[in-house]
Structure 1
Amino acid sequence: MAAVISGGLKVKAGLFAVQISSLPLRSHLPRCFFSASKKTTKTVASVSRSLRVSAVNNHHWPRVTTFCTAAPDAAVSPVSEPEKKIESQEVEVEENVKETANLLDIRVGRIVKAWQHEEADSLYVEEVDIGEAEPRIICSGLVKYVPLDLLQGASVVVLANLKPRNMRGVKSCGMLLCASDSSHENVEPLVPPQGSVPGDRVWFGDEEDLEQLPEPAPPNKVQKKKMWEAVQPLLKTDDSGVSMLKEHLMRTSSGLVTSNTLKNANIS
């Protein structure tokens, strides 16, 4: 910091050096002002008193201009605090969605039997083995997309902890997860990896995440918290047909869940 004083006084506080072009003003300056051995606080106080004396003797107050600069070695953060906060929130949201998705009871299933719904032209009714004592009855709107004979004995992926729904007189206890293109003209069930068996858990993430998977949420909680509604818009297949939740892979202990033909597709 430097100070320039009207009357010809220039002060460099760091070196306690003085340039004086006005001899009358010089006579009022204390001797300590010219000595670098004095403590800074005393020097500043002495300069202040001297300026007051000079002002009275010269009948005017000196005009002082100060120049302040930031320390040259001051560190500047490359990322602002608001940006850091936004990034932190994005990571938190992403992790929360993954945790929510892994509370869904998604399992490998095998269609034991399928037939046309008697009261709905667009629906199939399927008996699906998902590793329980009895097959589940599930209704699927796949009539216009998948030939009935291709469903018989097919391995599928089932969302199992939804509340049962009455679909034209048939209670549907789950949902087959399917890939569909943007126009919804092509729809096909997701395919579990080879080696999977009915009842195998499906999750999102790495292989190591299997050991930390929580127990599936009960159907009432899934409905109340709208878990499926939060997760479903983020499900897709990538450009190789692998199913994903954002960048988290959809997998079983045997490998990755895929779509046979639909790439960069929605999952519902």
Structure 2
Amino acid sequence: MDNAENLFNPSLAAALMKLDPEDGEQIMEYIKTHALLTREKALLQASVREQKKLLVENAKLKKDIEQLRIQLQEKQRRRTAPPPRSLSSDPCTPVDPPASPVGATASVPTKTLPPSSSSHERRDGQNRRSRGGRKARPTSVSLPLGLDPRVDVSRLDLRIGRILSGRHHPLAERMSVLEVDVGENSPRTVVSKLGEITKLEELQGCLTVLLCNVKACKLKGVVSQARVLCCSTSDDSIELLAPPSGSTPGDRVTFLNFPGDPDRELQAKQRIWELLQPDLQVDCRGVATYKGCGFEVKGKGLCRAPSLTNCIIR
């Protein structure tokens, strides 16, 4: 940086003007511009290093929080567990009568104790069961509350896919059936609502973004093995998300601010997709984002909408 600043020395400018009176001033302006760009590049690199450092610290904090949550649950479980019962306090344990003194000619009569309340309750329960009565329900025990599992976009398995072919669904006018290559041994069949809006012959060979860890389900008789992500506006304009140039089938879509591995398969009961979808949007620049963080294919760029802006992703 000091060397770049030394280029602004008046003596250097005078020397350039002497060597080349016509272009010396332009050369000096070029050198100044290059020095400023070098300084901005150094500042940008320092900012990226600081951001990566914060991400590593954030992951470490998440791990520490998870360990503390497990320790808290273990302490609460120990605190709510009932204490062990001693044999001497059990009313059902028979007690031996005291031994008679040596040489006694007559035994001391023992007094019969009335049955305890627990014995009555046990006998009443047996009588109810013998008469076909309903067994009393056990009282519910409150379980210790833990922290909610992470619910963010890192749980989605988003990949780049190439559409090999498309046809209209035989049983639904608004649906289409696509065969998509996502970098696996065989293509996946995807059922999507594109039949009336998009010309299917124009989709052949196009790259798009797919959600690949949804559970396979049958839609109108055809099994769908993934979900095609598209953006749409309020006036029903629909476009498929476009990956960055240079993408290939099977490339992962990741998010800089949300590191983590995706679920093997999204559970329908957890409704992860429904919880995340409101935060999946195309911004004013046409970039696909989650909470302001772009859909990124590492080393290749960001996913975008071909022409739509400020719309939802579904």
Query: Aligning the two structures, in what range does the TM-score lie when normalised by the shorter sequence?
Result: 0.5 to 0.7
Return the letter of the residue paired with 2:263: A
Paired with 2:190 and 2:297, the residues of 1 have a C-alpha distance of 22
Larger Rg: 1
Conserved 8 A contact 1:103-1:217: yes
Paired with 1:224 and 1:133, the residues of 2 have a C-alpha distance of 30
**Distance change in 2, residues 1:113/1:246 (3 Å):** same
Does 2:239 match 1:188?
A: yes
Paired with 1:126 and 1:133, the residues of 2 have a C-alpha distance of 17
Structure 2, gaps ≥5 residues long? 1-147
How do residues 152-167 of structure 1 correspond to structure 2 at under 5 angstroms?
152-167=204-219
Does 2:265 match 1:219?
A: yes
Q: Relative to total residues, which structure has the larger strand share, 1 or 2?
A: 1
Q: State the shift of 1:98 in Å.
A: 8.5
> 1:203 matched to which residue of 2?
254
Same amino acid, percent of matched pairs: 37
> 1:234 matched to which residue of 2?
279
> 2:11 matched to which residue of 1?
none
Return the letter of the residue paired with 2:283: D
Q: State the shift of 1:117 in Å.
A: 1.1
Does 2:230 match 1:178?
A: yes
Paired with 1:260 and 1:145, the residues of 2 have a C-alpha distance of 15
**Distance change in 2, residues 1:220/1:248 (3 Å):** closer
Conserved 8 A contact 2:151-2:272: no
Conserved 8 A contact 1:242-1:258: yes
Q: State the shift of 1:144 in Å.
A: 2.0
**Distance change in 2, residues 1:156/1:204 (3 Å):** same
Q: TM-score, normalised by structure 1?
A: 0.59
Q: State the shift of 1:143 in Å.
A: 1.5
**Count of matched residue pairs:** 166
Q: State the shift of 1:220 in Å.
A: 4.5
Q: TM-score, normalised by structure 2?
A: 0.50
**Distance change in 2, residues 1:97/1:193 (3 Å):** farther
Conserved 8 A contact 2:209-2:243: yes
> 2:292 matched to which residue of 1?
247
> 1:46 matched to which residue of 2?
none
Return the letter of the residue paired with 2:313: I
Paired with 1:137 and 1:162, the residues of 2 have a C-alpha distance of 13
| Among 151, 155, 164, the residue aligned to 1:103 | 155
| Among 95, 115, 138, the residue aligned to 2:190 | 138
Greater relative CO (CA pairs within 8 A, separation 6+): 1
In angstroms, what is the RMSD of aligned CA positions? 1.9
> 1:264 matched to which residue of 2?
310
Conserved 8 A contact 1:130-1:198: yes
Q: State the shift of 1:214 in Å.
A: 2.8
Q: Please list the CA deviations of residues 142-201 of structure 1 after superposition, one character each: whole Å capped at 9, or x if unmatched.
A: 122211122111101000111112111100011100000123x10111011001110111
**Distance change in 2, residues 1:170/1:118 (3 Å):** same
**Distance change in 2, residues 1:257/1:189 (3 Å):** same
